[in-house]
Amino acid sequence: MSMTERPSGVFPAVCPLDCPDTCGLLLHKEEGKIVKVTGNPDHPATKGAICNKVRHMAEKVHHPDRLLYPMKRSGPKGSGRFVRISWKEALAEIAEKFRRLSAEHGSDSILPYSFYGNMGALNAEGMDRRFFGKLGASKLAYTICNSAGNTGWKYTMGFGGGSSPEDTLNAKLFIVWGGNIVSTSMHQAVLMEQARKNGAKIVVIDVHKNLTGRRADWFIPLYPGTDTALALGMMNVLFERGLTDDEFLRAYTVGHEELREHAKAYTPERVSRITGVPVDDIIRLAMMYGETSPSHIHIGNGLQHHDNGGMAVRTVSCLPALTGQWTRGGGAFKSNGSYASLNDDALTRPDLRPNPGVRTINMNKLADALLTTEPKVRGLFVFGSNPAVVAPESDRVREGLEREDLFTVVHELFLTDTAKYADIVLPATSSFENTDLYTSYWHHYVQLQEPVIEPVGESKSNFELFGLLAQAMGFEDEAFREPAATVVRAALDNPDNPYLKGVTLERLQAERFVELDMSPKADYLQRLTTPSGKIELYSQQLQALGLPPLPTYMPLEEGFDGENREHKHTAYPLMFVSPPNHNFLNSTFANVEKHQSMEKEPTLQIHPHDAEARGIEDGQLVEAYNARGVYALKAVVTDLMLPGTVVSQGLWWNTNPGENGTNKRRLANALTSSRIADMGGGATFFSTTVEVRHAQKAETPKPKSFSL
């Protein structure tokens, strides 16, 4: 009997969320429903511990608000008014619209927009890529998350993988740089605590004393977007004081002599002015780094959501090479995704696409794509993402979604802010209703999800949906009829990735957690895929792109450092940083009562100096605003940041409950810019400036998109 047929029992599962940890789960099922989610103690990396978010996942899977059947819009866009239709009608209407748009305006007038609401390869980047490829739709650049930083890392290291989780246990110095692992990668935080027990010092470098910073032996606050300068200041001291491993530099790097010269300009005094970190602290940090082995740097996502984010990560990732950490049991981590890279061509089948040269639209530019880009986007298909909340410049995104001549389909589990703008809403299964393949971008275990419960209502997985749509479009290719098992096999068969050797569907079914073959990691340094095959402290590739070939601090386009703070005249003198909170996963869970009550309400952390200057008191309702929009939220006066920086954690939906009539202005991304980072087309969420005032209920015009 399959797991779905058994009404009760405890069944293995995989956490589908966009979180590095990719936990093994156990689903406790009674009478066909999941009643409890616990960690699978057999998982070698996550060992039965899971976060609070997912412990309450059963509530989400069987939430009364789950979408149960296809619907068609019956009120104005954004109103959330829909009527039920059949799957047959829905598929026929979408196919008809897509055919008409392709004939009249070209197939590139259709844009798929998706991200990793479910990390499963088949559902997040399998059948959908095949379908939109065959259709000839515009391509999407998946840049909203880690694109700038991962690209920056690759300019230095070539390969998109660093230290293994287990390696970090041995560190005697553990630096968390721009990450909040207590909330965002809890198993790495557990390893960090174990390293501390083994004698490690924990240093956290952040613009905000987040939950991880509060656990640090030493928390170093700095101004947003100045990490490159801090890392260069450390290099200056390392070179000056003879703390570099010159043998390593000669054997494994290019450009160390140039870097030695170049770093002279970044004296601790100058770097202190830029970063806000005292001179003595810069020297102490550099000495600590130069004198402690092994050391580990966990590079988070926060420092790269900036105009200069690619360079920031590129620069920090040069540090382990300076002290030879890669041969001393230390190193750094940004993402370990490449160890587990699947056979992308087999999964996505680019050969099906009739127009390989079609335009690519950067997902951070969704607002422009819907409002100004020519030729116009006329069909939008959203799945696995909630762009009305998570994409920058959300007021403009919503204006775009309101366009009467835009045909929008949203495939979702819930009527999200985005789904409210759809012409057709389709119900999606949760990952526990699907077959899928999961790799982790942190640990080295591959997992398989098999359906544990029947699809809720009439919901369908992305995988099934795009197969059905292909049929409705008359696409004859076998690629659209392949069963999940065939696609899993094809994805695992990747001759380009030696780490994937020996991972098979059969083993996944039998063993649940299959470890990658990590033996090629022994000669990691010989296998770097930079043009020189070495760690590139000097990058000719960057030079060819018109970027500085050596790590170089570049001030933010929107924002200040300590050197330029006084010189920039601006109406928006505060840096606004909006990183994730503890109990949501991006905007997922923001609609679930339990998670809402754990987070209470949106807050703005503001420094006592900044609060006083504006007559703002703790607990008052305030508005952060700039030329792009307004965000109404509660002030929390605290010195967890340097003066000049305000922080609001968590991505709330616009429809989340509010107070005092301000519930229509609940979007952090109303404030953020869609400017593109220096590398990888990345997002610049945290390079945002604002002013803060008391909430002005009566004076602030109601944004026109909100017609609820």
Binding site for ligand SF4 (CB under 6 A): 15, 17, 19, 21-23, 50-51, 53-54, 186, 585
| Contact set for Mo ion, span 311-330 (CB under 5 A) | none
Place of tokens 């009997």: 1
Instruction: Provide the minimum distance between the beta carbon of 178 and ligand MGD in the complex, in angstroms, as a whole number.
Output: 3
Nearer to ligand SF4, 303 or 585 (CB): 585
Annotate each residue in 639-678 with x if it binds ligand MGD (CB under 6 A) or - if it does not, as one string: ------------x----------------xx--x------
Does 34 bind Mo ion (CB under 5 A)? Our answer is no
DSSP label at 460? Answer: B
Closest CA to 608 of 577, 643, 578: 643
Query: If contact means CB under 5 to 8 A according to the sort of partner, which of ligand SF4, Mo ion, ligand MGD, none does residue 224 touch?
Result: ligand MGD
Name the residue type at position 461.
S
Place of tokens 């640990």: 443
- First CA to last CA distance, the chain: 47
Does 631 bind ligand MGD (CB under 6 A)? Our answer is no
DSSP codes of every residue in 583-611: S-BTTBTTTSHHHHHHH-S-EEEE-HHHH
Instruction: Provide the minimum distance between the beta carbon of 282 and ligand MGD in the complex, in angstroms, as a whole number.
Output: 14
Instruction: Provide the minimum distance between the beta carbon of 19 and ligand SF4 in the complex, in angstroms, as a whole number.
Output: 3
Annotate each residue in 514-553 with x if it binds ligand MGD (CB under 6 A) or - if it does not, as one string: ----------------------------------------
Instruction: Provide the minimum distance between the beta carbon of 19 and Mo ion in the complex, in angstroms, as a whole number.
Output: 9
Torsion angle (degrees, nearest 10) of CA 488, 390, 655, 647: 130
Cβ neighbours of 275 (radius 10 Å)? 28
Query: Could you tell me the two tokens for 479?
Result: 């690629």
Instruction: Provide the minimum distance between the beta carbon of 225 and ligand MGD in the complex, in angstroms, as a whole number.
Output: 5
CB-side exposure of 275: number of CA atoms within 13 Å? Answer: 31
Torsion angle (degrees, nearest 10) of CA 680, 686, 688, 691: 180
CB-side exposure of 615: number of CA atoms within 13 Å? Answer: 3
Does 586 bind ligand MGD (CB under 6 A)? Our answer is yes
Own/partner long-range contacts of 498-506 (Cβ < 8 Å, ≥24 apart): 499/339, 499/340, 499/444, 500/340, 500/341, 500/342, 500/446, 503/446, 505/448
Q: How far is it, in rounded angstroms, from Cα 203 to Cα 220?
A: 7
Instruction: Provide the minimum distance between the beta carbon of 86 and ligand SF4 in the complex, in angstroms, as a whole number.
Output: 35
> Which residues in 89-115 are b (16+ Cβ under 10 Å) and which e?
ebbebbbebbeebbeeebbbbbbbbbb
Closest CA to 516 of 492, 535, 549, 532: 492
Burial of 498 (0-12, 13-18, 19+ CB in 10 A): middle
Could you say which of 82, 98, 113, 115 contacts ligand MGD (CB under 6 A)? 115
Could you say which of 302, 310, 320, 455 contacts ligand MGD (CB under 6 A)? 302
Nearer to ligand SF4, 53 or 262 (CB): 53
Could you say which of 178, 400, 467, 644 contacts ligand MGD (CB under 6 A)? 178
Does 390 bind Mo ion (CB under 5 A)? Our answer is no
Q: How far is it, in rounded angstroms, from Cα 194 to Cα 472?
A: 54
Please state at what angle helix 279-291 crosses helix 227-240, rounded to 10 degrees.
Answer: 60
Query: If contact means CB under 5 to 8 A according to the sort of partner, which of ligand MGD, Mo ion, ligand SF4, none does residue 369 touch?
Result: none
DSSP codes of every residue in 343-373: -HHHHH-GGG-S-TT--EEEGGGHHHHHHT-
| Contact set for Mo ion, span 439-498 (CB under 5 A) | none
Q: Tell which phi-psi region holds residue 285, choosing left (phi > 0), alpha (psi between -120 and 50) or beta.
A: alpha
Query: If contact means CB under 5 to 8 A according to the sort of partner, which of Mo ion, ligand SF4, ligand MGD, none does residue 186 touch?
Result: ligand SF4
Instruction: Provide the minimum distance between the beta carbon of 316 and Mo ion in the complex, in angstroms, as a whole number.
Output: 18
Distances in whole angstroms, Cα of residue 153 to Cα of each of 163, 317, 485, 679: 13, 6, 34, 10
Instruction: Provide the minimum distance between the beta carbon of 429 and ligand MGD in the complex, in angstroms, as a whole number.
Output: 6
Annotate each residue in 230-269 with x if it binds ligand MGD (CB under 6 A) or - if it does not, as one string: ----------------------------------------
In the bound state, the residue with its beta carbon closest to Mo ion is: 145
Burial of 547 (0-12, 13-18, 19+ CB in 10 A): middle
Does 385 bind ligand MGD (CB under 6 A)? Our answer is yes
DSSP codes of every residue in 220-246: EE--TT-HHHHHHHHHHHHHHTT-S-H
Instruction: Provide the minimum distance between the beta carbon of 520 and ligand MGD in the complex, in angstroms, as a whole number.
Output: 26
Distances in whole angstroms, Cα of residue 24 to Cα of each of 48, 510, 648: 7, 15, 31
Query: If contact means CB under 5 to 8 A according to the sort of partner, which of ligand MGD, Mo ion, ligand SF4, none does residue 300 touch?
Result: ligand MGD
Closest CA to 192 of 313, 295, 94: 295
Instruction: Provide the minimum distance between the beta carbon of 646 and ligand MGD in the complex, in angstroms, as a whole number.
Output: 11
| Contact set for ligand MGD, span 458-497 (CB under 6 A) | 462
Could you say which of 413, 469, 542, 574 contacts ligand MGD (CB under 6 A)? 413
Q: How far is it, in rounded angstroms, from Cα 622 to Cα 633?
A: 6
With beta carbons less than 8 A apart as the criterion, state whether 112 and 297 touch.
Answer: no
| Contact set for ligand MGD, span 429-458 (CB under 6 A) | 431
Annotate each residue in 677-706 with x if it binds ligand MGD (CB under 6 A) or - if it does not, as one string: --------xx--------------------
Nearer to ligand MGD, 480 or 685 (CB): 685
Nearer to ligand SF4, 16 or 551 (CB): 16
Query: If contact means CB under 5 to 8 A according to the sort of partner, which of ligand MGD, Mo ion, ligand SF4, none does residue 388 touch?
Result: none
Query: If contact means CB under 5 to 8 A according to the sort of partner, which of ligand MGD, Mo ion, ligand SF4, none does residue 578 touch?
Result: ligand MGD
Annotate each residue in 10-29 with x if it binds ligand MGD (CB under 6 A) or - if it does not, as one string: --------xx----------
With beta carbons less than 8 A apart as the criterion, state whether 298 and 181 touch.
Answer: yes
Query: If contact means CB under 5 to 8 A according to the sort of partner, which of Mo ion, ligand SF4, ligand MGD, none does residue 254 touch?
Result: none
Strand 629-637 to strand 445-449: parallel, antiparallel, or no bridges (unpaired)? Answer: unpaired
Nearer to ligand SF4, 45 or 232 (CB): 45
Annotate each residue in 121-150 with x if it binds Mo ion (CB under 5 A) or - if it does not, as one string: ------------------------x-----
Residue 424's DSSP bridge partners are 72, 409
With beta carbons less than 8 A apart as the criterion, state whether 246 and 218 touch.
Answer: no
Query: If contact means CB under 5 to 8 A according to the sort of partner, which of ligand SF4, ligand MGD, Mo ion, none does residue 23 touch?
Result: ligand SF4
Question: Which stretches of the chain bind Mo ion, using CB under 5 A?
Answer: 145
Question: Which stretches of the chain bind ligand MGD, using CB under 6 A?
Answer: 18-19, 115-118, 123, 144-146, 177-181, 183-184, 205-208, 210, 224-225, 227, 300-303, 306, 383-386, 390, 411-414, 416, 428, 431, 462, 577-580, 582, 584-588, 651, 668-669, 672, 685-686
